[in-house]
A and B are shown apart, each in its own frame.
Chain A
Amino acid sequence: MSVLSPVIAIVMTLILGAVLFTALGVNPAQALYVYFVEPVTQLWSLEELVVKAAPLALIAIGLALCYRANVWNIGAEGQFTAGAIFGSAIPILLPDWDSWMVLPLMLILGVIGGMLYAAIPAILKNRFGANEILTSLMLSYIALLVLDWLVRGPWRDPGSFNFPQSVTFSDAATLPLLVSDGRLHVGVLFAVLAALIAAIRLSFSVQGFAIEVAGNAPRAARFSGFSQKRITLSVFLISGGLAGLAGICEVSGVLNQLRPEISPGYGFAAIIVAFLGRLNPLAILLAALLLALSYIGGEGAQAELAVSSTVTRLFQGFLLLMILGCDTLIAYKIRLVTSRSHASGEAARG
C-alpha cells in the first residue's frame, strides 16, 4: 500500500499542473507533454536527466538516513557547497599540478568538506542541544555567502574580465566521462553505489538497526545501549559526506569551475526526493530521476511555452505536501464523525 502514496501524490501534482497551465493560458496537454514526456524522448536530454539526478540522489540518500533516525538535517545545500569549495581548492590553488592523484584527492577533500560542515550542527546539537534544523539551515546561507566571496574575491580567475568565476579546471581535475562523448560523468556511478551500500547497510547491519530504533523508539534505543548522540553525529557525517561528494562531482564533472551559483537548489529538492523515495535508498534513485525531470521540463517549458521556470519549484513543493498528506490517508482510515452519531456511540458503549 505504501507504494501508492507517492503515486497518488504525483497524479495530484499533475492535476495541479494542468489547472495551473490552463490558468496561464497554455494548452495543458501540450504543457504537460513538454514538461514530463519530451525530456525522455531524446538521448541528450536523457543523459541530462541522469546527470541532474545524480547529485539529488547522493544528497537524498544521506538525508534519508538522517530522517530515519529522526535527525533533521536540512542544511544539505551548505554541505554540498562546502564539499565543492574544499574539493576545488586543489585545481584553483595548484592549477598546474598534473597528476593522477589530483582527482581522487579532490573527491576526498570534497567528502571531508561536507563532513566537517555537517559536523557543526551535529556537535552543537549534542553538546548544547541547539536545534539542528535551524543551525544547519543558517550554515547553508553562510556557506553560499562564503562561496560568493571566494569567486568574487581571492579565487576569481584574473583573466575572467571581472566575471565572478574561478579558473577553468585542467583535464586532470575533470571527472572522466562514462561514454566517450556526451555529459554522463563518473559521478553518476557514485549515486548508484551509495544507494546500494546504504540499502544493504540499513537492512543488514547493526548501525542500520540502531538508526531505525533511534528514529522510531528513542526510549528503546536508550535501553538497548545505542547512544543517541553517536547516531546523530554519524548520520550527519554520512549525509554531509555524500552531499560534499555531490558538490565536488557537480563542479568537477559538470561546471568545470566554481561560480556563485553551483546548484539550482539541489540541497532542498533532495529533501523532497528523500520523502518521495519513502526514505528508501533504492527508491530514492527513481525519485531523483523524477525531480530531475521537473528541472529539465521546467527549462523546456520556459523555452517552448514561455512559462517561467519558477513553476518547477511550485510543483516540487506541492509534490512534497501531497506525499505527506497521502501517507496519512493511507495509514489511517478516515471516518467522519458527526456530533450526533458520536453521542449515540457513546451511549451504546456506556
Chain B
Amino acid sequence: MVDWPVVAAIVLTIVTASTPLLLAALGEVVAERSGVLNLGVEGMMAIGAVSGFAATHATGSTFAGVIASAIGGMILAVPFAVLVINLSVNQVATGLSLTLFGLGASAMIGDKYVGVPGIKLPQLHIPGLSDIPFIGPVLFGQDGLVYFSVVLTIAIGWFLTRSRGGLVLRAVGDNHDSAHNLGLSVLGVRWAAVLFGGACAGLGGGYLSLGYTPLWTENMTAGRGWIAVALVVFASWRPARVLVGAYLFGAVTILGFHAQGMGLAIPSQFISALPYLATVVVLVIISGNKAMLRANTPACLGKPFVPTR
C-alpha cells in the first residue's frame, strides 16, 4: 500500500530542497546568456542567506528577509561586474574570488546569528484547494518563494525567446562585436544581467535560511551554488530544463535521506555525497554530447568585451 501522506511529505521536502537550486540557476542562465560566466554564485548565495536571516531577525518579517536576500546577492555582484565587465579581468578567477569573499563575509556577518532560531517562510494556503488529499498540500500548500520560482522560470523563458529585450541579451552573449556595432550597449546589458543573476542567487540563498532550514550556520550553502552552475550546463541554458534539473537534484538529495530512514544501512556521509556525485556524473554525460553543447553555449561566454571605439 502506498502511504499517500508520507509521499506528499517527501514531495514537499523535495520541492524545498530544489527551490534554492532553481532560483540560483535561473539567475546564472541570464548572466551566462549575456556572455558572463559568474562562478561567484556560491558566495552570492551565502550572502543572500545571511542577509535574509539577519533582516528577518531584525524586522520579524520574512518578506523583508526575502527582499534583503535579493539585495544582498545583488550588492555582492557589483564588485564582480566592475572587475569582469569594466576591467576585463579573467572571469573564472574573479568568480572564484567572489565565492571566497562571499563565504568569508557571510561567516563574519552571520557570526552573531549562530544558534539563533529563525522564522520560517509562511505557507500560503488556498482555502478549499489546499485540503484536497495529496494534490492539495503539494500544489497549493507551498510558501510564496516556491510559486515565485516557478513563475520566474516561465517569465525568463518568455523573456529570452519571445521578447525584444531577450533578443538583445542573447545577441550580446553570442556576438558582442556585432551587438556593439548595432549600437547595443554590451556593457550595460551585461551589467543588468549580472545584477539580476546576483539577486536570484541571493534569493536562492535566502530560501535556504528562511525556507529549507530556518537558521543560519556557516557554510550552509554547502556547494549548492556550484551545483547551480552545473545545472545551467545540464539544462543547456534553457529555463524550463533548469526547472527539471533542479527538481531532479532535489529528489536525489531527499530520496537518499528517506532511503536511510527506511532502514537502508548506508552511512549518512555517502547519502550527503550523492548530489555532488550526481553533479559529476551529469556533467560527464552532458559534456559527452559535443554537438548539442556547441549549438547551445553562448558563443561569447567567458570572453571579455573591450570596446575598440
A positions within 8 Å CB-CB of B:
67, 72, 74, 124, 128-131, 133-135, 137-139, 141-142, 145-146, 148-149, 152-153, 268, 271-272, 275, 308, 310-318, 320-321, 324-325, 327-329, 332, 342, 346
Please give, as numbers and ranges, the residues of chain A lying within 8 Å of B230 by CB-CB distance. Answer: 131, 134, 138
Q: Does B89 contact A325, Cβ atoms closer than 8 Å?
A: yes
Q: Does B276 contact A325, Cβ atoms closer than 8 Å?
A: no
How many Cβ-Cβ contacts under 8 Å join chain A to chain B? 139
Pairs A–B under 8 Å by Cβ, sample size 11 = A74-B96, A129-B288, A134-B229, A145-B276, A149-B267, A152-B269, A316-B100, A317-B104, A320-B101, A321-B79, A321-B101
For A312, the closest partner residue in chain B by CB is: B104
Please give, as numbers and ranges, the residues of chain A lying within 8 Å of B226 by CB-CB distance. Answer: 134, 137-138
* B284 interface residue (CB < 8 Å to A): yes
Bound Cα distance A137, B279 (Å): 10
A186: shortest Cβ distance to chain B, in Å?
30
Report the interface size for chain B: residues with CB under 8 A from the other chain: 49
Please give, as numbers and ranges, the residues of chain B lying within 8 Å of A268 by CB-CB distance. Answer: 100
**A131/B309 contact (C-beta < 8 A), A142-B273, A314-B105, A324-B90 known:** no
**A324/B279 contact (C-beta < 8 A), A124-B284, A133-B39, A317-B104 known:** no
Greatest chain B CB density within 10 A among A129, A271, A317 is at A317
Q: Does B280 contact A139, Cβ atoms closer than 8 Å?
A: yes
**A314/B101 contact (C-beta < 8 A), A124-B284, A129-B288, A138-B277 known:** yes
Please give, as numbers and ranges, the residues of chain A lying within 8 Å of B102 by CB-CB distance. Answer: 317
* B217 interface residue (CB < 8 Å to A): no
* B111 interface residue (CB < 8 Å to A): yes
Other 19 A-B pairs with CB < 8 A, given A124-B284, A146-B273, A317-B100: A74-B96, A129-B290, A130-B280, A133-B39, A135-B280, A135-B283, A137-B226, A141-B222, A141-B223, A148-B269, A311-B108, A313-B107, A314-B108, A316-B104, A317-B98, A317-B104, A329-B87, A332-B87, A332-B88
Q: Does A128 contact B100, Cβ atoms closer than 8 Å?
A: no
Q: Does A142 contact B101, Cβ atoms closer than 8 Å?
A: no
For B83, the closest partner residue in chain A by CB is: A325
Q: Does B280 contact A138, Cβ atoms closer than 8 Å?
A: yes
- The proximity string for B residues 107-144 relative to A, scoring 1 for CB distances below 8 Å and 0 otherwise, is 11001000000000000000000000000000000000
Q: Does B108 contact A131, Cβ atoms closer than 8 Å?
A: no
B102: shortest Cβ distance to chain A, in Å?
7
A102: shortest Cβ distance to chain B, in Å?
28
The one of A131, A149, A272 that contacts B100, using a Cβ cutoff of 8 Å: A272
Please give, as numbers and ranges, the residues of chain B lying within 8 Å of A141 by CB-CB distance. Answer: 222-223, 273, 276
The one of A124, A138, A328 that contacts B89, using a Cβ cutoff of 8 Å: A328
The one of B94, B270, B272, B283 that contacts A131, using a Cβ cutoff of 8 Å: B283
Q: Does B284 contact A325, Cβ atoms closer than 8 Å?
A: no
Please give, as numbers and ranges, the residues of chain B lying within 8 Å of A149 by CB-CB distance. Answer: 267, 269-270
Bound Cα distance A332, B304 (Å): 14
Q: Does B96 contact A271, Cβ atoms closer than 8 Å?
A: yes
- The proximity string for B residues 78-99 relative to A, scoring 1 for CB distances below 8 Å and 0 otherwise, is 0100110001111011101111
Q: Does B105 contact A317, Cβ atoms closer than 8 Å?
A: yes
The one of B88, B97, B279, B280 that contacts A317, using a Cβ cutoff of 8 Å: B97
**A72/B270 contact (C-beta < 8 A), A141-B223, A310-B218 known:** no
Q: Does B100 contact A313, Cβ atoms closer than 8 Å?
A: yes
Bound Cα distance A16, B143 (Å): 39
B252: shortest Cβ distance to chain A, in Å?
13
Please give, as numbers and ranges, the residues of chain A lying within 8 Å of B107 by CB-CB distance. Answer: 308, 310, 313-314
Q: Does B270 contact A128, Cβ atoms closer than 8 Å?
A: no
Please give, as numbers and ranges, the residues of chain B lying within 8 Å of A271 by CB-CB distance. Answer: 96, 100
For B37, the closest partner residue in chain A by CB is: A133
Q: Which 9 A-B pairs have the closest CB atoms?
A: A317-B101, A313-B104, A320-B97, A310-B107, A317-B100, A149-B269, A314-B104, A328-B87, A145-B269
